[in-house]
Amino acid sequence: MTFEQANDEINRRLNGIKRDAERADILWLGIYKIHGHKDETPHLHIIYFVNNDNKKDLDKLTKIFFKYFQKEEERWKKNYSINQKITYFDGVLGYLFKDHGEANVRTGFIGLRKDIKKVWNSLYTGDYGDSSLSYLSDDRMWIAKQLMSVKEETTYLNKQGLGSGLIL
C-alpha cells in the first residue's frame, strides 16, 4: 500500500467514526493527528472527551472505533491501549501539535463546526464582518465581542502545580 493509499484509508475510517458517532447521537469532542511513523507509515492519534455520566456513550463509541480498527480491539483486550485517561494533558497536546504544519501531518478537531480555525481567527483578530461568522445571530455576535475584549490573567492547576495563562 502506498503512502497516499494508507492516508486515504485512515481518512475514510476517521470520517466513518465521526459519521457513526453522530448517527448514534454521541456527543464527543477531541483532537486528532495523522502523521507518519519513523518509516513514514501514516497512523492516527485521537484524544477525546465523552461525558462519562452516561457510560453508554463511551461504550458505543468504543464499539464504533473497533468497527473501523478491528486489530485494535485485540490490543485493547491485552493492554487497554484505547480509552486511557490522560494524566498529563499538556504533554499530550504538545505531542499532537509539535509538528503541526509540516508536510504529511494533519491535525483537526472533532465535534466542532467545520472551519472552526477560520471562525476563531476572525473572532480573535476582530474581523467581525468575515463571512465565517455569518452563522452567528446578532446576540451571539455581541456576546462574542464582549468575551473577546476581556483581558484577565487566570490560574489553572496542572500536574506540575500551578500554571497561568492570559485570557485575551
Q: Please check whether residues 102 and 24 belong to one and the same domain.
A: yes
| Residue that wins the pLDDT comparison between 22 and 77 | 22
Q: Please check whether residues 106 and 79 belong to one and the same domain.
A: yes
Once rounded to an integer, what is the mean pLDDT over residues 3-25?
A: 92
Q: Please check whether residues 48 and 130 belong to one and the same domain.
A: no
The distance of Cα 6 from the centroid of its chain, to the nearest Å, equals 21
Q: Please check whether residues 132 and 98 belong to one and the same domain.
A: no
Stated as kind and residue range, the H or E segment containing 101 is none
Q: Determine phi and psi for 36, rounding to 5 degrees.
A: -95, 145
Domain limits for position 78: 3-112
Residues 6+ apart with CB under 8 A from 73: 66
Statement: residue 64 has pLDDT above 80? yes
Rounded Cα–Cα distance for residues 70 and 76 (Å): 10
The count of domains in the chain is 2
**What does the pLDDT look like over 94-109, one tens digit per residue?**
888 888 888 888 888 8
Stated pTM of the model: 0.68
